[in-house]
Amino acid sequence: MAVRAGTGRIRRVLVDVAKHSTASLKAMSTTFGPEVAYTDDRALVLEADSLEALRRIPDSSVSLILTDPPYHSTKKANIAGDRNFEEDELFLDWLGEYAVEWKRILKLSGTVYVFCASEMSARLETKIAESLRPINHIVWTKPNDPGFDGWRGKTKISALRQWYPHSERLLVFEHGTYGSREAYRRSPMGEYLLAARKRAGISMIELTEIIGAYGKVNRGGAVANWEAGRNIPSREQYEKLKAALEAYEAVGEMLSYEDLIRPMQLSREINYTDVWDFPSVRPFKGKHPAEKPLDMLKHIIQASTYPDDVVLDCFAGSGSSLRAALELGRSAIGIEIEPQWVQRSVDMAQSATRPVSETPGVEEAFVRPSPDSLF
Ligand SMILES: C[S@@+](CC[C@H](N)C(=O)[O-])C[C@H]1O[C@@H](n2cnc3c(N)ncnc32)[C@H](O)[C@@H]1O
């Protein structure tokens, strides 16, 4: 059932060729009213309940959702939402509603990263998997700098009834569903190619012959592997596929490589495992209680987006993910409910050292006046 639903959506995208990526965030900001705290061509900061705000963001318009909701199990008084739910199930249902919106606004090539406490991770992954396909369960070990072993100082060992939770989890998802049999593992890209080829009315072998991508084993070759989601075409191979399929009137304009193929840009120079050891943010005046290290956020954005992509954080806190995205030449949307952290997110968006050509002029930026400045 789930695969059929997915295929329907992919067919719709094939027809519509959603091109929201080219629309500036300033244009998107017109959907919102007084919630807009800051906007320029690359950044949009909203002060809002993010579930409400997400419902007004267009379909297939975001490449990366990188977000850090209240953990619920930590019950921190200084984080809005951390104590909102009496029962775990209510918290999970709440984030399940987010996942429905994430799926809708995420491009076919998009990725979702959700921070969570280890205690909630298994159930949260299962809940979000009702909308998206889990691809990783990253462990962030949070090593302390020498001389700053926070946990040693604050732990009463005799009171511990479990191992001290010194790591956090980062759940990663793409479009798709859980599945074991091959047919159910077909990737969004594979489904998209299959739908386009069917529209063209040609066989796998014919398409393979047109683009000359023969496999080692069978004549359907690479096309069969791509359609099954076993591997992905290179950019050059995709351009050939696109040109071949667009020649058929019934296919129409196809998505670009960036809008279809999920990036996973890794190199031997960086850690590409699922165990991460970025040091936690050291305390400083004005630090958000759950502030995430900039290096870790950049690690994610670098690997999982193309330049110019839109990154969204619907629990923006200090605005650290906005800063990371802007400094890497991406666009950023941050949504935060607490005025204090909205202001910090605005400051982050304004002060991020952006690649020179992308620094907006003053006349291009909108900053909502603070209430004090009205008098
Ligand atoms: C875990 S913190 C995020 C910290 C952030 N990653 C950082 O590096 O600073 C969660 C944030 O979500 C915000 N929040 C809670 N409920 C929200 C809601 N319904 N809509 C928007 N923001 C919300 C909280 O105020 C808090 O700042």
79 in the same domain as 199:
no
Q: Is the pLDDT of residue 118 over 50?
A: yes
CA 241 to chain centre: 27
286 in the same domain as 173:
yes
pLDDT tens digits, 334-375: 999 999 999 999 999 999 999 877 666 555 789 988 766 554
User: 35-44, 203-212, 300-309 — which is least confidently predicted?
Assistant: 203-212
Task: Give the model's pLDDT for residue 136.
Answer: 94
Task: Give the model's pLDDT for residue 113.
Answer: 98
Q: 221 versus 320: which is more confidently predicted? A: 320
Task: Give the model's pLDDT for residue 361.
Answer: 57
**Number of structural domains in the chain:** 2
What mean pLDDT comes out for the span 113-134? 95
What's the rounded Cα separation, in Å, for the pair 143 and 105? 34
Q: 323 versus 359: which is more confidently predicted? A: 323
Q: Which amino acid is at 372?
A: D
The per-residue pLDDT of the chain, averaged, comes to 87
User: 138-147, 169-178, 262-271, 360-369 — which is least confidently predicted?
Assistant: 360-369
Read off the pLDDT band of 3 (50, 70, 90): very low
User: 127-131, 253-257, 366-370 — which is least confidently predicted?
Assistant: 366-370
Nearest CA to ligand 1 atom 24: 80
Task: Give the model's pLDDT for residue 375.
Answer: 46
Q: Give a yes or no: residue 370 inside a domain.
A: no
| CATH code for the domain in which residue 199 is found | 1.10.260.40
Residue 68: CB partners within 8 Å, gap ≥ 6? 114, 115, 290, 292, 313, 315, 317, 321
In the reported structure, the alpha carbon of residue 37 is separated from the centroid of ligand 1 by a whole-number distance in angstroms of: 16
Going through the chain in order, the beta strands assigned E by DSSP cover: 36-39, 43-47, 62-67, 106-117, 133-140, 168-174, 275-276, 310-313, 331-336, 366-367
127 in the same domain as 36:
yes
Q: Give a yes or no: residue 155 inside a domain.
A: no
Q: Does residue 288 have its Cβ closer than 6 Å to ligand 1?
A: yes
Q: Does residue 337 have its Cβ closer than 6 Å to ligand 1?
A: yes
186 in the same domain as 175:
no
In the reported structure, the alpha carbon of residue 48 is separated from the centroid of ligand 1 by a whole-number distance in angstroms of: 11
Q: Does residue 110 have its Cβ closer than 6 Å to ligand 1?
A: no
Q: Give a yes or no: residue 339 inside a domain.
A: yes
Task: Give the model's pLDDT for residue 13.
Answer: 46
| CATH code for the domain in which residue 47 is found | 3.40.50.150
Q: Does residue 70 have its Cβ closer than 6 Å to ligand 1?
A: yes
Task: Give the model's pLDDT for residue 235.
Answer: 93
Task: Give the model's pLDDT for residue 371.
Answer: 64
Which residues form the domain of 236? 182-260
Instruction: Please count the other Cβ atoms lying within 10 Å of the Cβ belonging to residue 79.
Output: 21
Q: Are 46 and 37 in contact (CB under 8 A)?
A: yes
Task: Give the model's pLDDT for residue 99.
Answer: 98
Q: Which amino acid is at 80?
A: A
What mean pLDDT comes out for the span 268-274? 93
What's the rounded Cα separation, in Å, for the pair 212 and 223? 10
What mean pLDDT comes out for the span 126-153? 84
What mean pLDDT comes out for the span 151-171? 85
208 in the same domain as 171:
no
Q: Does residue 50 have its Cβ closer than 6 Å to ligand 1?
A: yes
Q: Is the pLDDT of residue 221 over 50?
A: yes
337 in the same domain as 245:
no
In the reported structure, the alpha carbon of residue 235 is separated from the centroid of ligand 1 by a whole-number distance in angstroms of: 37
136 in the same domain as 12:
yes
Q: Give a yes or no: residue 275 inside a domain.
A: yes
pTM above 0.85, yes or no: yes
170 in the same domain as 47:
yes
Task: Give the model's pLDDT for residue 225.
Answer: 87
What mean pLDDT comes out for the span 86-90? 91
200 in the same domain as 140:
no
DSSP letter string, 37-62 = EEE-SSEEEEES-HHHHHTTSPTT-E
Task: Give the model's pLDDT for residue 239.
Answer: 96
